[in-house]
Amino acid sequence: MAKFLEYVPGDSLLHRMSPAAKLVGAVLFAVACFVNSNLVFLLVMLVIALALAASCGLGRQTAGLCKAVLGFSVILAVVLVLTTPAGTPLVPLPWGYIGTGSLLAALTVIVRLMAAAIPLFLVFYVTRMSDITNAAVKQLHVPYKYAFTFTSTVHFIPVFMNDMAGIMEAQTARGVEFDGSLAKKLRLMMPLCVPLLVSSVRKTNSAAIAAEVRGFNLRTRASGYKDYPLAARDVAALGLCVALLGAAIALTALGM
């Protein structure tokens, strides 16, 4: 089973695209989502993002991702609803009111975060980790140590999640009941940070040693064996992302 943010092999269009084009495209897409607050535009962006996910058969992973982003953005949305008195008043509050504008703003936040996040996360699902690192180093001129640190961090997320699941399982077997209220769950999970921390430090340490004995310090920009030439589809995709960003800026400039 594919884990969070781990490469899923495939040969969809997104899989075949140049890693650098995917990275830059995803960033442009995310920026476009943030420079514009038009709900209709953002909904269109969300649909495009979901279509991209569907095109490479990652519906399940994306659904999981949407759920996670939703959870996070709902918190933001609630804050917004309570603190943005705008539009027709619906519910009076001691410090203002909740209006149609507040709800609209909250909805915008949720849609924006989801639309912006999906392509960025998709990059990790459709690109081998070494390709992201190497393309970032070779084409985007990111120093290797930074690129490696970043991709390794992403690589370790599922490892740590797996560890946490194992630790929770071990504690469940001892009678700790994790299913219950969130507050109770958090209280029970706090002591488990100790074993997680211990194993994480051990793991990162041995990972560092393993990389070092395979010549980590010798690596230069030219080291990567593979090249990532931009194909017509990459240029087209980048053009499309630039166009989307342009449209977002234009809409904002027009005050829409």
Partner 1 sequence: MIEIRNFSFRYREGREPVVRDVSLSIPDGCFVGVTGPAGSGKSTLTYAVNGIIPHCYPGDFYGAVTVDGLDTVEASLTDVSRLVGSVCQDIDSQMVNTVVEDEILYGLENFAVPREEIPARVDEALSSMGIAELRDRTIDSLSGGQKQKVAVASVIALKPRVLVLDEPTAELDPASSVAVFELLARYAREHGTTVIVVEQKIALLSDYADLLVIVDGGAVRYAGAPRRGAGPFRGAAGPGRQLPAVHHAHERAGAARPLRRACRAQRGPGGRGVQGGARMIEFKNVSAGYGEGAPVLRDVSFAIADGEFVAFVGTNGAGKSTTMRLANGLLKPSAGEVLVDGVSTRDLKVSELARKVGFLFQNPDRQICCNTVREELLFGFKALGEEGSAADAAVDAMIERFGFDPDAEPFLLNRGTRQLLALASIIVLAPPVVILDEPTTGLDFRECVKVMDTVRELNEGGTTVIMVCHDMEVVADFARRVIAMTDGRVVADGPTFEVLRDPAALKAAHILPPQVTEVALILGREVPGVPPAVAEADTVSQMVEALAAARGEEAVGSEADAPSDDVAAVLAAEEAAAPARPAACAEGSR
Nearer to partner 1, 15 or 112 (CB): 15
Half-sphere exposure of 57 toward its Cβ, with a 13 Å CA cutoff? 9
d(CA 229, CA 53): 24
Of 28-36, 40-48, 113-121, 151-159, the segment contacting partner 1 by CB under 8 A is 151-159
Nearer to partner 1, 100 or 149 (CB): 149
Please report whether residue 129 would count as binding partner 1 according to CB under 8 A.
yes
| Residue 149, token pair as written in the block | 């640190």
CB 166 within 8 A of CB 160: no
Task: Report in angstroms how near the CB of residue 175 gets to partner 1 at its nearest.
Answer: 3
Pick one of 1, 51, 182, 183: the residue that binds partner 1 (CB under 8 A).
Answer: 1
Of 45-53, 95-103, 193-201, 244-252, the segment contacting partner 1 by CB under 8 A is 193-201
Of 5-13, 24-32, 83-91, 248-256, the segment contacting partner 1 by CB under 8 A is 5-13
| Residue 50, token pair as written in the block | 């979901």
d(CA 151, CA 135): 12
d(CA 207, CA 116): 32
d(CA 202, CA 110): 38
Task: Report in angstroms how near the CB of residue 49 gets to partner 1 at its nearest.
Answer: 23
Task: Extract the runs of DSSP E, i.e. beta strands, from the chain.
Answer: 89-93, 96-99
Size of the site for partner 1 (CB under 8 A): 57
Pick one of 51, 94, 95, 214: the residue that binds partner 1 (CB under 8 A).
Answer: 214
Subset of residues 7 to 26 that bind partner 1, contact rule: CB under 8 A: 7-9
Task: Report in angstroms how near the CB of residue 30 gets to partner 1 at its nearest.
Answer: 23
Of the candidates 60, 66, 68, 69, the one whose C-alpha atom is nearest the C-alpha of residue 8 is: 60
